[in-house]
Chains A and B, each alone.
Chain A
Amino acid sequence: MVMEVAEVRTPGIGVAHNLRAVKVVVHREALRFLDDRSRMISTLIQPVLWLFVLGTGFGTLVQGAIPGIDYRTFIYPGMISMTVMTTAMFSAGSIVWDREYGFLREMLVAPVSRGAIVTGKCLGGAMVATLQGVVVLALAGLVGVPYDPVLMVSLLLMMFLTAFTVTAFGVLVAAKMKGITAFFAIVQMVMMPMLFLSGAMFPLANLPAWLHILTTINPLTYAVDPLRQSVFSHLDLPAEVSAVLNPGVQWAGWQVPVALELGLVAVTGLILLMAAVARFRKGD
């Protein structure tokens, strides 16, 4: 056989090369997501069930208690975050799968920094989760949320931020996990209470003190609240209904601004990312 192409020479390792590595890891996440229809559908079923089955059922129960708004509209922002979280966790879990099937080794022996691999994984997970969230966004009209372009874009950005932080958390957990079942056991254990305490399912106003404290120390609260505030700002509701259903988050009576909430989510995400990189640096 004739070798027509001269051998290739690779350039030095620098920032550009590591960025390229981030990009290709993100690209792989996208390829795998688009390829896996069953996963796409299964992560969608959950919010649809919540929104239309449970939402409708509970809605009839609480109809009189909250006048002027559909319960489904209320839990809509919560369902967005739930979908994004589940998808992000699946993406993070694929690291464990990659380890089991050997592909993680291909990434870890490459001449790129571990930081680039982990960052790529987190950005990829965030992107995939945001894509999945788009499908939930498309359902907005069915629960009485207007398709306002500003609202849609801001929801997308918040979804991406949430997904990034959740993926970083998942990657940190997955860093030393040997089996996918162990990973999902831990994820279940952590995610369920976080979701319950985030205000995704019920408003955070007028809670007993112990529950209020738990909700304020839950990082996910600060991801759900901005979503809800955005959605509610585009609804036409009486002030007293808004006060009950969309109370925001308070620290000892001080109303936490949305910008600070988003900042908290971003900082948490970055800390988790750095912790995950450190765990991968420690070597396998």
Chain B
Amino acid sequence: MSEQTAVSVEGLKKSYGKVEAVKDVSFTVAPGEVFGFLGPNGAGKTTTISMLCTLTTPSGGSARVAGRDVVRERDEVRRNIGLVFQDPTLDTNLTAVQNLRFHAELYGVPKAKIAPRIQQVLEMVALWDRKDSKVITFSGGMKRRLEIARGLLHSPRVLFLDEPTIGLDPQTRAAIWGYIHELRRAENITIFMTTHYMDEAEYCDRIAIIDHGSIVVIDSPEALKASVGRDRVRISTGDNDGAVVALRDRFGLEASVSEGEVTFAVEGGEEFVPRLFAELGLPIKSVSVSRPSLDDVFMSYTGTSIRDAEAGAAQVNSWIRHVRR
């Protein structure tokens, strides 16, 4: 079966009573892509992902995952996707292998393939030596790794990861990203993930920024950063105030002094540095150029920082939960 797209979404909507959690969302994800949904809590990420995973019925629009319609071909979609939720869904009274075996049977993995496949996924997440330990003895990071292993057990075409690294220490987060990249290389799997960590979004091939239930922009992290345009340059000089004046007079740049350094934004920062040295007329002690971060991108598209957006969304979110009951 050939697929043009791993995920295609057309005018997808979901409302809970009068609350529109997702408003008219459309996008496509190519096979083998790592696609990220970036947005504050309450932006509609989890609602969208649960519609794609057939857990929530859309109020409008349509979505196809692995070439199947999420409403009409629910079981076919389910067979072709792997899911790792925010909240754990393991049976902690069973061992790691027992959990995986249960999953393999439910997903109809051929009997002869179960044992080798379990070994393979457990080795990948470095839990093979703990295969016969009860999950209740696992740390949070180990549980998440086991969930990822389980999500992969039936060789899904699309792996959905809802905030896969939330609440984990940086080391485990890095390890989980290691698995995700390895997976893509080894099984050409499509990965659809949500995150509200800016630094994680950088690992994606493309990012959709979602805010208030709508997609604001979709592009690669690089292109998004480029669209914000100007790089950030920080210099330190013997005379910072003089440098600010000189930057305004000679280059027409607005600079400011903070923490003993002069900072300003300029297009093509790296190309600008030689000119800066030649024409500033002041000795420069150090210089650094940084590309705009996704924080800057988020800010420029939504007019708010992701943290402020989350504070506002918390209220809406608790309301949605209330309506759902």
A positions within 8 Å CB-CB of B? 1, 3-5, 7-11, 13, 17, 20-21, 23-24, 27-28, 31-32, 35-36, 98, 101-103, 105-107, 109-112, 283-284
Contact = CB atoms under 8 A, between A and B. Distances in A.
Nearest to B110: A8
Contact of A109 (B78, B94, B101, B116): B78
20 contacts: A4-B120, A5-B116, A7-B155, A7-B187, A8-B109, A8-B113, A9-B110, A10-B108, A13-B79, A21-B105, A24-B105, A32-B91, A35-B93, A101-B88, A101-B91, A103-B91, A105-B89, A110-B78, A111-B106, A111-B107
B78 A111 contact: yes
Given A109-B53, A283-B57, A10 B107 contact: yes
B5 interface: no
Contacts of B92: 101
Interface of B: 53-55, 57, 75-76, 78-79, 83, 85, 87-94, 98, 101-103, 105-110, 113, 116-117, 119-120, 123-124, 153-155, 182, 186-187
A20 B102 CA distance: 10
A17 B75 CA distance: 12
Contact of A112 (B87, B91, B106, B116): B106
A240 to B, nearest CB: 53
A31 B53 CA distance: 29
Contact of B155 (A8, A21, A106, A111): A8
A7 B55 CA distance: 25
A264 to B, nearest CB: 34
Contacts of B105: 20-21, 23-24, 27
A162 B105 CA distance: 28
Q: Would you list the 7 A-B pairs with minimal beta carbon distance, nearest first?
A: A7-B155, A24-B105, A111-B78, A102-B89, A110-B106, A111-B79, A111-B75
Secondary structure class of chain A's binding surface, majority of residues: loop
B182 A1 contact: yes
Given A4-B120, A5-B113, A8-B154, A102 B90 contact: yes
A109 B85 CA distance: 11
Contacts of A3: 120, 186-187
B113 to A, nearest CB: 5
Contacts of A5: 113, 116-117, 119-120
A28 B79 contact: no
Q: Which of B89, B102, B106, B154 has the most CB of A within 10 A?
A: B106
B4 to A, nearest CB: 20
B55 A109 contact: yes
A11 B110 contact: yes
Contact of B107 (A7, A28, A110): A110
A63 to B, nearest CB: 46
Contacts of A112: 75, 106
A27 B119 CA distance: 21
Given A31-B94, A103-B89, A109-B78, 5 more contacts: A1-B124, A8-B113, A8-B154, A10-B109, A13-B79
A13 B75 contact: yes
Nearest to B78: A111
A31 B98 contact: yes
A38 to B, nearest CB: 12
Contact of B85 (A9, A10, A105): A105
Contacts of A7: 155, 187
Contacts of B182: 1
Contacts of B93: 32, 35-36
B79 A10 contact: yes
Nearest to B185: A3
A110 B106 CA distance: 6
A121 to B, nearest CB: 13
Contact of B94 (A11, A17, A28): A28
B94 to A, nearest CB: 6
B54 A109 contact: yes
Contacts of B79: 10, 13, 111
Nearest to B77: A111
Nearest to A28: B102
Contacts of B187: 3, 7
B108 A13 contact: yes
Contacts of B53: 109
A99 to B, nearest CB: 10
Contacts of A111: 75-76, 78-79, 106-108
Q: Which of B53, B102, B103, B119 has the most CB of A within 10 A?
A: B102
Nearest to B87: A102
A43 B57 CA distance: 41
Nearest to A21: B106
Contact of A28 (B91, B108, B120, B153): B91
B186 A106 contact: no
A11 B104 CA distance: 12
Nearest to A283: B57
Contacts of A8: 109-110, 113, 117, 153-155
Contacts of A9: 110, 155
A17 B108 CA distance: 6
A20 B98 CA distance: 15
A112 B186 CA distance: 28
Nearest to B182: A1
B91 A20 contact: no
Nearest to B155: A7
Contacts of A17: 108
A10 B154 contact: yes
A36 to B, nearest CB: 8
Given A3-B187, A9-B155, A283-B57, A106 B103 contact: yes
